[in-house]
Amino acid sequence: MKKLYISLIVGTLSMSVQAQIDPPCAIPGAFLCDNFDAYAAGDYLGPNASWWTTWSGAEGTSEDAVVVSDYAYSGTNSMKIPGGGITDCILRLGDQSSGVWKLEWMALIPDTHTGYYNIQESETPGVAWNLEVLYGLYDYTTPAPSGEGVVMVPVENNFSYPVGEWFKVEHIIDLDANTFTLKINDVLVLDEAYTGNIGGIDFYSIDANNEQYIDDVLLIELVPTTYYADTDGDTYGDPANTISVIGDAPDGYVSDNTDCDDTNAAVYPGATEVFNGIDDDCDTQIDEGTVGITDITSGNIHVYPTPAQSYLNVEVPSNWNPSFTIQLFNNLGQLITTQMASGTSVTSIDVTNVAAGMYTIMATDENHVAAQAVIIE
């Protein structure tokens, strides 16, 4: 355990007296975040923010971490844990006992230097260690080449990290399932059982060669998202078939829940309604705006020329109202265009921009409905 290697702090510990500023977190939903840019370079952290303290409580002394502008992942400042075995900074995390949490920060270890942190069971230091990570060391005292590190608790496991560059340290801790994962530089290092609470982080100066910089600290609870099955693969989900998970949607699930038939990929909100006896566009109406052969009830019309290329002439019997309506449908029953008659028994329709194929012309007035198949080339 790391306290076996702490040198006794001798002398009078002078405490800085200043008002804590507790800079607000700009990340929505975060329990805590800190990018160190609200402080001045040279400031000790403990006197400035209530979530920072030291192992012994001697804030504002050499045991406390200091804000520096030597390196920064974002903004201008970061936190430095120097060598010498004295700095022993605690980040209080609220003694979380339930929920799923993401705890992460950016870290930088210069070439030939070491670093260390552990996750404390309690905000009160020393109750228990739930994780212990060393950079540039094989164990508490044996140097390792730069870029190599080791997890000592809960199990030993070696890992690598980029030297002299910022890298992410990410923990996903499920306090309900008692599991956690650790990723360093986006590479999975541990996937293990987790016992106890999330009390705090101890950033400790492990030896005379220690030099660790920390930026963009974040603790946020991860809330499960509900996703909906997309069995037919049309990107619209079934509101009756759900799953709740943290993170991205699993394969076969989407965030949408508006599909009215998840067994038919041609049926979804906004689909083109066709004459087929089903609700293609999920608007609770069937075959609206379409026509089928069974809709033609009476009357005779004359449509010419056919095949047509530019114009179709529609002529109705003399007993029709000359202000009749003309509609052009494709072979799926989809409405292509509507035009009012010109006040005479013969009306021309421009089909220059209509795709070639089989179509149906339907004419209607208040007393008649008639249709005729046509070809447009």
Mean pLDDT of 40-55: 97
Shared domain check, 160 and 97: yes
Mean pLDDT of 341-351: 81
Residue type for position 195: T
Shared domain check, 277 and 186: no
Shared domain check, 337 and 256: no
Shared domain check, 215 and 68: yes
Residue 293's pLDDT band (cuts 50, 70, 90): very low
Contact 4, 67 (CB under 8 A): no
Q: Which residues are CB-contacts of 172 (< 8 A; sequence separation ≥ 6)?
A: 100, 101, 102, 180, 181, 222
Shared domain check, 111 and 259: no
Q: Which residues are CB-contacts of 219 (< 8 A; sequence separation ≥ 6)?
A: 30, 31, 32, 33, 93, 94, 101, 102, 103, 198
Of 118, 23, 143, 9, nearest in space to 64 by CA: 9
Mean pLDDT of 329-341: 86
Q: Among the listed ranges 130-139, 186-195, 270-279, which one has the minimum average pLDDT value?
A: 270-279
Shared domain check, 247 and 332: no
Shared domain check, 246 and 199: no
Q: Is the pLDDT of residue 52 over 70?
A: yes
| Percentage of the chain modeled with pLDDT above 90 | 68
Residue 18's pLDDT band (cuts 50, 70, 90): low
pLDDT at 8: 33
Mean pLDDT of 154-182: 97
Q: Is the pLDDT of residue 367 over 90?
A: no
Shared domain check, 363 and 313: yes
Shared domain check, 168 and 50: yes
Mean pLDDT of 231-241: 96
- Domain span at residue 302 reads 293-376
Q: What is the CATH number of the domain that holds 109?
A: 2.60.120.560
Shared domain check, 247 and 120: no
Structure pTM? 0.68
Of 283, 241, 244, nearest in space to 263 by CA: 241
Mean of pLDDT over the chain:
89
Shared domain check, 299 and 262: no
357-364 β-sheet, strand order: 335-340, 325-330, 357-364, 369-376
Shared domain check, 153 and 75: yes
Last residue of a domain, one of 237, 253, 285: 285
pLDDT at 290: 60
Instruction: Give the number of other CB atoms < 10 A from CB of residue 367.
Output: 11
Last residue of a domain, one of 221, 236, 260: 221
pLDDT in tens, 70-98: 999 999 999 999 999 999 999 999 999 99
Number of domains the chain contains: 3
